[in-house]
C-alpha cells in the first residue's frame, strides 16, 4: 500500500514539474504582460471593400490601392507576431469593409491585455510628401507609437515624420492602447514603386512587428512619458482614418 502511495506521489511530482517547466518555456509572454501590459495585438488593416483608402493615382505606374497594401502588410505583421508567440486578432482578413466604430468596438471587447495597431498608407494631392508617421492620442499609447515609428524608419530607411498626437477615431476612441501607422506615401513616385514590392512591404512589417515586440518586452522603459489629455470621442470623418 505504501509503495502504491509513494508511486502516486512521485507521479504527481513529475506532472507538477512538467507544468512548471512548460510555464517557464513561455517566459517572454509573462515578461510581456509585466512590462508591456498586453498579450493580444488587434491588427487593423485600414479601409477595405467599398473603401479603397488612398491610391497612387490612375496615371501612376504601378497603380496601388491602400486597402490592398494594408491587408498584405497586416498579414505579414500577424505572421511575425504569431511566430514570436504573441496572440493576434485581425479586424479583417479579406477585402471587405468594416465601419470605424465597429473596429473600435472590437478593440473594446478585447479589453485589458490587448493593444490596437492600425496600418495605413498615405496619399495626398502632391507627389512631394514622403516618409513614415505614427499617430497616437492616449498617454499609454505613446511608448508603443514611438517604438513602431523608430523600428519602421530603421527597417526601411525612409524619412522620419515622427510621432504625432492626433485625435482620430482609432487613436482616441478605443479604451486600450492604440496607434495608427502611416507606412509610406503612395503619391510619392519613389515610395509607391517600393510599396509595390513584396520585399519592401516585408521590411515595413518587420519594423511594425519589432516595435510591438519591443513594447511587449520593455513597456515604456526608456521612453519619456507624456501627460494624458482629455478630449471628446472622435465622431467626425478624419483624413487619416
CA dist., res. 65 & res. 111, Å (int) = 32
Mean model confidence pLDDT for the chain: 88
Listed by start position, the domains of the chain span: 38-218
Residue 15's pLDDT is what? 33
Residue 58's pLDDT is what? 87
The grid coordinates of residue 67 equal 486597402
Residue 59 — pLDDT band, cuts 50, 70, 90?
Answer: confident
CA distances from 101 to 70, 71, 110 (A): 18, 19, 14
What does the pLDDT look like over 176-210, one tens digit per residue? Answer: 999 999 999 999 999 999 999 999 999 999 999 99
Residue 237's pLDDT is what? 54
13's CB contacts (< 8 A; 6+ apart) are none
Residue 118 — pLDDT band, cuts 50, 70, 90?
Answer: very high
Residue 29's pLDDT is what? 34
**In this structure, are residues 179 and 135 in contact, taking their beta carbons and an 8 Å threshold?**
yes
Residue 204's pLDDT is what? 98
Indicate the fold that domain 38-218 takes in CATH: Aminopeptidase (3.40.630)
Q: In sequence order, what DSSP letters do the residues of 51-98 get, joined into one string? A: B---B--TTSSS--BHHHHHHHHHHHHHHHHHHTT-EEEES-SSS---
Residue 35's pLDDT is what? 81
Q: Quick one: average pLDDT of 122-148? A: 98
Amino acid at each position: 500500500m505504501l509503495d502504491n502511495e509513494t508511486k502516486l506521489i512521485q507521479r504527481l511530482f513529475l506532472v507538477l514539474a512538467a507544468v512548471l517547466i512548460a510555464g517557464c518555456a513561455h517566459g517572454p509572454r509573462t515578461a510581456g504582460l509585466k512590462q508591456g501590459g498586453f498579450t493580444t495585438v488587434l491588427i487593423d488593416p485600414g479601409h477595405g471593400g467599398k473603401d479603397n483608402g488612398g491610391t497612387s493615382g490612375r496615371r501612376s505606374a504601378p497603380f496601388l490601392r491602400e486597402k490592398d497594401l494594408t491587408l498584405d502588410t497586416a498579414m505579414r505583421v500577424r505572421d511575425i507576431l504569431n511566430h514570436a508567440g504573441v496572440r493576434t486578432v485581425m479586424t479583417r482578413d479579406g477585402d471587405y469593409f468594416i465601419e470605424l466604430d465597429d473596429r473600435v468596438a472590437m478593440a473594446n471587447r478585447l479589453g485589458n491585455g490587448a493593444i490596437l495597431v492600425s496600418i495605413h498608407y498615405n496619399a495626398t494631392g502632391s507627389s512631394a510628401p514622403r516618409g513614415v508617421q505614427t499617430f497616437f492620442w492616449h498617454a499609454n499609447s505613446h511608448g508603443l507609437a514611438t517604438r513602431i515609428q523608430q523600428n519602421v524608419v530603421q527597417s526601411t530607411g525612409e524619412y522620419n515624420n515622427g510621432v504625432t498626437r492626433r485625435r482620430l477615431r482609432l487613436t482616441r476612441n478605443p479604451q486600450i492602447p492604440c496607434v495608427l501607422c502611416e507606412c509610406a506615401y503612395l503619391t510619392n513616385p519613389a515610395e509607391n514603386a517600393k510599396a509595390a514590392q513584396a520585399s519592401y512591404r516585408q521590411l515595413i512589417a518587420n519594423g511594425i512587428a519589432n516595435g510591438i515586440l519591443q513594447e511587449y518586452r520593455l513597456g515604456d522603459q526608456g521612453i519619456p512619458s507624456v501627460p494624458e489629455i482629455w478630449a471628446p470621442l472622435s465622431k467626425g470623418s478624419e483624413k487619416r482614418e
